[in-house]
Structure 1
Amino acid sequence: MTDSVPPESPRPAEEPSGSDPWAAPAGAAPALAAAPAPSAAPAAAPAHGAPYWPPYPVAAPVPRNGLGTAAMVLGIVGVVLSLAVFLFWVSWIPALLALVFGVIGVGHARRGVATNRGMAIAGVVLGISGLLVSVGAGVFVVARIQAVHDERRAEADAARARADAAIEAARQRAVKEKELADAQRKKAEAEQEKAAADERARRLPFGQSYTYGDGLKVTMAEPEPYVPRGTVYDLPENATIVQVKITVVNTGSEQVSLYGSGSPIVKDANGAPVFSLIDGSGRMKVLAGSLAPGQEATGLSAYALPAGAADRFSVEFSYGNGLQRKNVLWSGPSH
């Protein structure tokens, strides 16, 4: 349902098209007089029918000085760190950043967007200096490490050489000791063989001779039956009486003593000692005194071998001094 306009209400007058809505009403007097125009050219009036706004003041752009400042600070940090030689591995990072930021800061200063050109250049210089010092410190540390490594390797080589020399010396010493031990063993074996050969040489049948080292030659003649004369003491019953004749000759160049070699030791077939007989015939001779070079002496004695042990017997002749004393043993049948 629409409301109708009362007939008594007046209808508003229609405004002509193209009229200015901001113009003063018709018939109204102007409130103020027009101001004089300025000397400068007036601003362009807005187009007819468009609203007009007065211009606002525009703020000046802020300088972009952050990179230059950061470049200088990082350059200082890089130089300080690079002076500590052991920190060369980390000092190049702020130095490189200082160089990069400094170059960018100088570019900003050239374009007029930054005002700290000097700080940016200082960052570039400090960055380059920090990098150079860091590289130099790195080269020094690497060279020092290499020198220490070479020294240690030289010491290790010297120690290895000393160890090898000691091992070689020990090996040679062991070889010499082995050679010496072998020589001593061979010498002992030779001496033992010589002693055994000499021992065999001093085990003789009746009628054979043996010569001692000093030239004394001793010979036992073949046993002969012996007939006692005169008084005989303790003659065993059914005993076999034999004569033992030993002749010694000094074939050496020095005089020899027969002390302790006058009476031989006689044993029967059972190894029991047999004592010499004593009669009044005067035929018994005992080796005594000494012999000059070329001199000869003979000892003569008789022994009664008991029945049952008279088929074989042995005669032992002993000569020498101390450990050099040796015996010669003859053995064989009694007839």
Structure 2
Amino acid sequence: MPTSPPDGPGTPGFPPQQPRNGPGSAALVIGSIGSFVAFIPLLSWIACILGILAIAFGLIGYQSARKGLATNKTSALGGAALGGIALALAVIMVFAAASFAGNMADRAEKATERRDAAPYTVPPVPEEASEPLDNELVDDAPVRFGETQNYAGGVRLTVAQPDEFAPDERISGVHAGDRAIRIRMTIVNNSDEPLDLTALPHLEDANGKDVDPLFGTRAGNRPFDGVLAPGARATAQYPYVLPPRTAKELRVEVAASLGYEDGTWTGPVG
């Protein structure tokens, strides 16, 4: 029975098959890169992709090694393991970054809420001390009859205590049972400018009821008139009628001249 001759040196044979170590080697390289990139917060998403690829290539390389098609079984398993580590680290870093961003957003929101809830107050502007004008009183507090009110420009105004007199019933505005008083005023012009004598007192009682003036020379009305020169003095007298129910305490408001601040005098009839 004929048999096949044995292969000799001159007989061509089949070349040996090369091992398929590519997937295992790729898994090891990609897994190593993914594990490194996973620690960089902004590149964690890339580590996720590299980790998945390393696991896939590692499994392919492991299967090839089991079938005898590859000789780098250890590299394939190591690459798959590194891919898993890279994937896990990437996931952890992503969640950590998300948590950090959430905490920062919460802090910013709470800070905004506290700022909005706090009432805004305008810091007070310090008032500059200013000197009164020439037509303003140095002290505008009410004074008693007989005292003097001083203006910043040098004008001085004094209202004497009212004195009572017996009114002539022939005077217009006087009725039976009424009393009459005189308000005497003195103005001293210590300023450098002439002063128009336009002062006219307003009189009311302690209940806020106006007291009517009397007019005419028969009632003793001698008002201010003309212009008061610097350094000069002027006096005037104004009569008023007091009905029976007028309060005993009186209040006089008057200014030294037109445009000047009103001074206030209070007190009883003398």
The higher radius of gyration belongs to 1
Pairwise TM-score range, normalised by the shorter structure: 0.3 to 0.5
Q: Which has the higher helix share?
A: 1
Higher relative contact order (CA 8 A, sep 6+): 2
TM-score of the two chains, using structure 1 as the length reference? 0.39
